[in-house]
Every structure is written in C-alpha cells, then in structure tokens.
Structure 1
Amino acid sequence: MNRYLRTLPPLETLITFEAVGRHSSFTGAAGELYLTQSAVSKQMRQLEACIGVPLFERKPRGVMLTPAAKELLITVNVLLTTMYQSVTRIRNVHQANAVSILATHALAQFWLFPKLIEFNKAYPDIAVHVHAINEFDEASLNDFDLGVLYGEGEWGSLNSDFLLPEIVYPVAHPSLDVSAIETLEQLVGANLVQIDTSAWHCLDWHQWFDHFGIDYTAPDKAPVFNQLTLAFRAVQQGMGIGLAWTFMGDEAVAKGELQRVTTFECVTGNGEFLVSAKHRKLSPCAEVFRQWILTSART
C-alpha cells in the first residue's frame, strides 16, 4: 500500500482540524465549513484514530488543543498554505484568458501596476494575476507565465528581454532643505533612510556609496525598513533622504513630489528583465501581454 495512504489522514480531516484549531470550537468550524457539528466531531474522531493520540480536551465553551495537536496544527497550516498557493498559481497559469506574472513588491507597485491599468483598457478580456515577492530565482518561474527578474539578463532556463536599467539616486521630500548637500562626503553625514537587505537582494546605502569608493556605515539611530516600498514611503513623508530607483523615483521627481539630492547616481550595469521558462510555450494571452509590456517599456 502507498505509504501516504497508509500513514496520512484524509485531506478533509486536516482542513476541518485547521478550522477547529483556529476557532477552538467544533461549532465555529462547522459554521465556517457548512457542516453539521456532528460531522465535524466525526471527522475529528477519525483524525485522532489515524494519528493515534488525543488531539482535544473538551471544555464547556469549546475545545482546547493538546500539545500534540498544537504541534500538528503548525504543520497543517504550512501544508495547506503551500498547497493553496501552488494550486492557485497553477490554475492561473493554465486559465485560457489569464496571465500570471511574478515581480518584486516595489516594481509591482510603482512600475507594473500603472501599466496594468492601461493593459486592462486595451485588453479587457485578459485577466492579469500579479504575485509580488522580493526573493525569487529562475526556478520560481515554473508556476508563472512571466516574471520580472533582476540581474544581468542571462539565465540558463529562461528566455529574457531587457526592460529597465538599474539606476539609483538619492531623493528627499521637497520640504527638506538639502541645498547644503553637494558632495558625497556631505551626503554621508545626512539623515539617510536605511534599507535592511539582509533577507533579499537589493542595493543599500553601503553598496551605493561603495560604488563611488566611499566606505559607509549606517549610524545606530538611523531609521531602517526591511521593504523598499516602506523605505520609499518614509522618504515621501519627509523622514529623511532615501534611495530611489528610476522606475519609482522619476515620475515623483518630475511631478515635484520628490527632489533629487546631489547629481550623483549609481548605474550598476544590471537591470530588470521580462522572463519566461524556455521549456514551456507561452499561451496566446501571455504572448499578447509580453509584447504589450515590452512595447510599453520601450516607449
């Protein structure tokens, strides 16, 4: 017999168990899942029999999870979340009139989203599903039609088309007086909004200054954000001087919503590329979107 069939409980019992654990109540789970309380109770007895240990302590106002149940609930939450995300991505990839695309949070918010509005006007019958995540690689594209990946443009398993160069420069809110900051040495001593890039690949102030041959260490009291979008929001609110990429800063500077601080900018030689898996032919809708977004980027 298959080891999974022999060892693992039925999926519906795990779904019901997750609901019971969240509500601490058979009644609450039954209402959410449109089941009778007796059906929930029966499934939980089935789950306990399969696991071989008690999972619940019955209380007058609900149930309490045993230590074994709490341990199981952590695993079940991860399992169900992973399955849900995977099924959703796969479904999106194979929908006839849908396109799925993977991008970082900042690029999705500041560059891709405005273009999606225009694409929707031109192609209202094609639905675009955007999944934003900061840390991904070429293997991540297996469950998506397209992605916007940062790098040099060479990936063995991906087709790639150049979208945007990486150009990064300092900006501040117009209310901040930065007229006295003209050199990089003066910029080092200014109030700089920091980006914590320890969990993902992104330029920070240390790397930006290093591009110009200047050693920089952030002061202990500097404001730090672990998301580029949050750091940029802090700059927009006048918290300090921050780094802006052209795709997020150019329009704000042109509108007078932000001001550039010095004329220095870091051109890394890398960029954003529109990518797709070589082993899978794009659907007609994905190809329409690909051609449209490439044309939009070039104009």
Structure 2
Amino acid sequence: MIAPRRFLPSIPSLLALEAVDRLGSASAAAEELSLTQSAISRQLKSMEQQLGVDLIQRSQMRLHLTPAAQEYVQVARAALTQLAQASLKLKANPTGGSLNLSILPAFGMHWLAPRLQDFARRHPEVTVNLNTRLRPFDFETQHFDAAIHFGQRDWAGVNYLPIMRETVLPVCAPDILPDNPDDIEWLAEAPLLHLETRPDAWERWFAGQGRDVTGVRGMLFDQFSTMGQATVHGLGVALLPSYLVEEDLRTGRLVRAWQGPGVSLGDFYLVWPQSRAESEPLKSFRLWLEGQINPAGKSRK
C-alpha cells in the first residue's frame, strides 16, 4: 500500500498548485490548464481542507505559496513529471520493455548507433529511447535508466560496465601541416581547438609526449562534431578520438599533426543507478553490450 488515500490529493489539485506556484496567479494557472479561475480556487481550497494546512498567501494581485507549501510543491512537481514521462513511455511502447538511455553525442552517433540494429534484432521486445547529455546528472531527478559516461569512475551511486578506452590523436587539415611536422614545437605555436568538457586535454596530451606545456589557448567547442568540422575547414589542430577520425584520415580530409603515440584521456562506461533494481530491458542491453565489448560473449542473452 502506497499511503492512506486521505494523504493523496487529486491530480487536478496538484496541477493547480504547481501552476499557481510557477505562474504566480490563479488567472494564469486557469488559462494554462483551460479552467476557470474559480475552478483553480476550488481545487486549492479542497486540497487545503484535505491536508488541514494553509497553502496560499495572498498579497495584492499575486498568489504565493506558504513556506511549507513551497517545499511540498517541489516534490509534487517531480512526481507529476515522472508520471507524465511514464505515461509517454507507456504510450510509445504499450507492450512494455522501454530503456531510456542517456548518451554522449559523438560516441552515441559513431560507436553505439551503428551497433543498435543488432540489439533491435536480438531484442525486438525492447524499445531504446536515446537522449543526449554532455555531463553527469542525478538519476533520482532524471528519467533515465542508464547512461554512457566518459572519464573516470567518479559518478557516485552507480554501477559501472567498462566499454572501451578512448585514444585521442592530434589531427588537422592538410593545408595547415608545416613543411617540418616532425618538430613538435610547431604544435605548441599552432591554433589548438578545445572541447569544453575536456579543458586540460592538450596539456595532458603534451605531457604524454614528454613536453610540459601550460596555458594553451584557442577556440572552444561544446561537441566533437562541430570541432571536427572546424578542423576539416582548417581552423586549427584538434585532439579527436581515433574512432571518430578513421574515415577522414583514410580519405585525406584530415592528417595526423604528430606521429607520436596516441594518448588516452579516459574510458567510456555504461552506468546505471545502484538505488534501483535492474529492469529486464536494462539487463538485456547490458548483456548485449558486454557481447559487443567481448566478441566471444556475443551469444549471451
């Protein structure tokens, strides 16, 4: 049993309270919810009577929630959001078996997406919903079942499945490669392109080549895709993952700016919250992913 019904206000009442808190007036809430202003007032009054607590403070033409109601409405808003997301998930896959997965743009497009057809063939009962996130988030406040994480094991409260180590290579357009590219000093003076989520990538790469460089400057990008296009068009030298530049290196659109060893800046992981039981769709996806990582395990279900 969840709770006695007397502690559970109706959804219309919760929607009215949430809208008044967000919009600041009963008239604005009524317009958004396609109700009359008096209907909003009745919903709020009914909730106050049910809970035995004052929820609304009135000052001039604006409504404010009491301090206790402000804390309460945050929980109600999260619950309404989760309920709406669950309803969308049910509508999208009425037979069940959805997996909401947060992905990183470049990895999701170039490594994961080409392999998902195999997962769909093996597990037609599971619908995978993909959504892009560039940074870690809180599983308790987001609707994701799992996520692709890059870096270190620094995400608290999650389980980890290592996927692969990423190796980055310095690449540039052929036109900006100097006559003597074997001298690493040219890179220290070249226009270097940077990714927001890896601000120290170049310093770490130079350190991997035995060269101490600090204060590296240059254009800043939020995604590999835009930084890669800027590199192709000759705007500078970029550190790009090897899996992302294979085709451009093969066709000559890009060239290696330095022939030294590649440097790893982190690993890719599948992560999922420890606070929840592993669902069947997530278990199917995890086992399939293990098979992609370890080909000898591809037959595992």
TM-score normalised by the chain length of structure 2 = 0.65
Alpha-carbon offset, residue 167 of structure 1: 0.6
Which whole-Å CA distance do the structure 1 matches of 2:107 and 2:283 have between them? 20
In terms of mean alpha carbon deviation, does 82-91 or 184-193 score higher? 82-91
Q: Does the 8 Å contact 2:98/2:281 carry over to 1?
A: yes
RMSD, aligned α-carbons: 4.8
* Gap change, CA 1:125 and 1:84, over 3 Å in 2: same
The structure-2 alpha-carbon separation of the partners of 1:244 and 1:21, relative to structure 1 and needing over 3 Å to count, comes to farther
Partners of 1:159 and 1:261 in 2: how far apart? 38
SS at match of 2:176: coil
TM-score (normalizing by structure 1): 0.66
- In the TM superposition, what are the counterparts of 1:277-288 in structure 2 within 5 Å? 282-288=278-284
Contact kept? 1:30, 1:37, Cα under 8 Å = no
Measured after TM superposition, the shift of residue 266 of structure 1 is 3.4
Q: What do the CA deviations read for 1:84-126 (whole angstroms, capped 9, x no partner)?
A: 6656489979x94122334434322332233334533554431
Q: Please name the residue that 1:99 is paired with.
A: 99
Say whether residues 1:16 and 2:16 are aligned partners: no
| TM-superposed deviation, 1:230 | 4.1
Q: Would the alpha carbon gap of residues 127 and 24 (structure 1) be closer, same or farther in structure 2, given more than 3 Å must change?
A: same
Aligned partners of 1:30 and 1:40 also within 8 Å: no
Conserved 8 A contact 2:105-2:132:
yes
1:218 to 210, 216, 219: 216
Moved more, 180-189 or 264-273: 264-273
> Mapping of 1:21-170 within 5 angstroms?
25-26=28-29, 28-31=31-34, 35-40=35-40, 42-43=42-43, 50-54=54-58, 57=61, 82-83=78-79, 88=85, 96-136=96-136, 145-151=145-151, 160-170=160-170
* Per-residue Cα deviation, 1:149-183 (whole angstroms, up to 9, x for no partner): 33567999765443212211112345x43143333
> Is residue 2:177 matched to residue 1:178?
yes
Which deviates more, 183-192 or 107-116?
107-116
Residue 235 of structure 1 corresponds to which residue in structure 2?
231
State the 1:235 CA deviation: 2.8
Any idea what SS the aligned residue of 2:236 has?
Answer: coil
- Preserved CA contact (<8 Å) 1:172 1:261: yes
CA contact (8 A) 1:18 1:76 kept: no
Q: 1:14 to 1:112 in 2, by over 3 A?
A: farther
Q: Distance in 2 between matches of 1:171 and 1:110?
A: 18
Residues 1:256 and 1:43: Cα distance change in structure 2 (over 3 Å): farther
Match of 1:62 in 2: none
* 1:248 aligned partner: 244
Deviation, 1:186, is 0.7
Output the CA distance in 1 between the equivalents of 2:33 and 2:286.
Answer: 45
1:154–1:242 CA distance, 2 compared to 1 (3 A): closer
Distance 1:23 1:261 in 2: 63
The CA deviation at 1:127 is 0.6
Q: Does the CA-based 8 Å contact 1:14-1:76 persist in structure 2?
A: no
CA contact (8 A) 1:167 1:266 kept: yes
The residue that corresponds to 1:205 in the other structure is 202
Which of these residues, 278, 287, 290, is aligned with residue 291 of structure 1?
Answer: 287
Aligned-pair identity (%) = 21
